[in-house]
Amino acid sequence: MQLHSLAKQASKRTINPPPNNVALRQAIIRVPLVFKYFQYILKIGLRHFTLRGFIVTLIEGAWLDHKLQESPHSEISIELASGKTMLLAALLAASGREYIVFPQNVEFLVPSQAQKYFSSPASEYHVERYIYTKALRIFAISEFDAAVIKCLGASNVSVLPYSPVEGYREELLMISAMRTYTVKRDILILGSAGNIPTKKGIKSLLSLIRSSCPSKEFVLAGYGTDVFRDDAPQNVHVLGAVSSESLCQLMASCKAVLVYQPQTSGILTRLIDAELAGIPTYVLGEYLQANDSSLKTTKRIYSLDELFVE
């Protein structure tokens, strides 16, 4: 979303990988292009792809070639994530085209990543590293990610900090204004249980709350967090997924936002969102991105007792 907003401001066109049936039709029409991209797969290393990954890469390659010929681009930027964009970026690298990468995470560091297209985690690592080392420039989302990518042998790596898009930024500033007159009640725990590291962190945090803060009130909200409803301590009110309006009210009336995140790549954008909304924000534990310079007021704590120091 942020990259799309930046591209729009710069009057640059953005395209998304097509549905499989659209790409397949275009690939069948352009059979010679399929064979053209076969040589690029050999260059990357055929052993690194599953059969599905091999076929999808050929099809997506034909689609990409058509798009680039249809509308020549002097500059190609790609938002890198697991899945098809990883395949497209690998093809750009193997074809010798110049491209700029905006990785959302260092994908091989994300635990429990599904291996649909690559034959093993080591193969995904190889392909991702290949993309970084061939890129003209890389804009990582955090200083931690930038350091890791540099260690892989990539050059010209910078940090492009996450920033909420304009409409959402205005909403966060509105929450900040609301906080000047709302009564503050609970400690708010935000996170998506669909994210494996976040889910593990929430589970560990609930155990800590049960053992060390049984008399303090907490609220847990976020996609999939209702899975914790039966196991959460009585002093943790589990809401699960909430509407935008409800989240706005929760952020306006909470005493603080609390995060307990195992180390992974990327950065927790909710930390930056909470800061912009004027909410005291705390990270429990060793999450290194809590020290990122994009975070101005977030505090790292090492026990829950620090939340309640007057």
Q: What pLDDT does 110 receive?
A: 83
Residue 285: pLDDT over 90: no
- Co-location of 30 and 58 in the same domain: yes
- Co-location of 56 and 141 in the same domain: yes
Distance CA 168, CA 108 (A): 30
Label residue 290 exposed, middle or buried (CB < 10 Å: 0-12, 13-18, 19+): buried
Q: What pLDDT does 258 receive?
A: 95
Q: Considering only 40-49, 141-150, 184-193, 276-285, which range has the smallest mean pLDDT? A: 40-49
- Co-location of 71 and 183 in the same domain: no
Mean local confidence (pLDDT), 87-114 = 87
Q: What pLDDT does 8 receive?
A: 52
Q: pLDDT (tens digit, 9 = 90+) per residue, 244-261?
A: 999 999 999 999 999 999
Mean local confidence (pLDDT), 174-195 = 93
- Co-location of 181 and 69 in the same domain: no
Q: What pLDDT does 16 receive?
A: 61
- Co-location of 275 and 204 in the same domain: yes
For the chain, the average pLDDT equals: 86
Per the structure, the count of domains in the chain is: 2
- Co-location of 139 and 237 in the same domain: no
- Co-location of 123 and 229 in the same domain: no
| Side chain identity, residue 183 | V
- Co-location of 301 and 172 in the same domain: yes
pLDDT band at 31 (very low <50, low <70, confident <90, very high): low
Q: Residues 281, 299: contact at Cβ < 8 Å?
A: yes
**At how many degrees (to 10) do helices 84-95 and 51-70 cross?**
70
Q: Residues 251, 270: contact at Cβ < 8 Å?
A: no
The runs of H, that is alpha helices, within 181-281 are 196-212, 244-253, 269-276
Comparing 5 with 297, which gets the higher pLDDT? Answer: 297
Mean local confidence (pLDDT), 55-62 = 82
Residue 72: pLDDT over 70: no
CATH number at residue 253: 3.40.50.2000
- Co-location of 127 and 219 in the same domain: no
- Co-location of 129 and 61 in the same domain: yes
Mean local confidence (pLDDT), 151-169 = 92
Q: What pLDDT does 181 receive?
A: 93
- Co-location of 254 and 122 in the same domain: no
Distance CA 86, CA 129 (A): 11
Q: Which of 105, 127, 159 is the last residue of a domain?
A: 159
Residue 113: pLDDT over 70: no
Q: What pLDDT does 229 receive?
A: 93
Q: Considering only 53-62, 154-163, 186-195, which range has the smallest mean pLDDT? A: 53-62
Q: Which of 136, 159, 182 is the last residue of a domain?
A: 159
Residue 3: pLDDT over 70: no
Q: Which of 132, 159, 186 is the last residue of a domain?
A: 159
Residue 221: pLDDT over 90: yes
Residue 33: pLDDT over 60: no
Q: What pLDDT does 38 receive?
A: 79
Q: What pLDDT does 166 receive?
A: 86
Q: pLDDT (tens digit, 9 = 90+) per residue, 199-210?
A: 999 999 999 999
Structural domain boundaries, residue 14: 2-159
pLDDT-above-90 percentage for the chain: 53
Residue 280: pLDDT over 90: yes
Please, what is the end-to-end C-alpha distance for the chain in angstroms?
A: 39
- Co-location of 10 and 103 in the same domain: yes
Residue 191: pLDDT over 60: yes
Kind plus residue range of the DSSP H or E element containing 284:
strand 281-284
Comparing 278 with 166, which gets the higher pLDDT? Answer: 278
Label residue 208 exposed, middle or buried (CB < 10 Å: 0-12, 13-18, 19+): middle
Q: pLDDT (tens digit, 9 = 90+) per residue, 6-23?
A: 555 544 555 566 555 655
Mean local confidence (pLDDT), 281-285 = 92
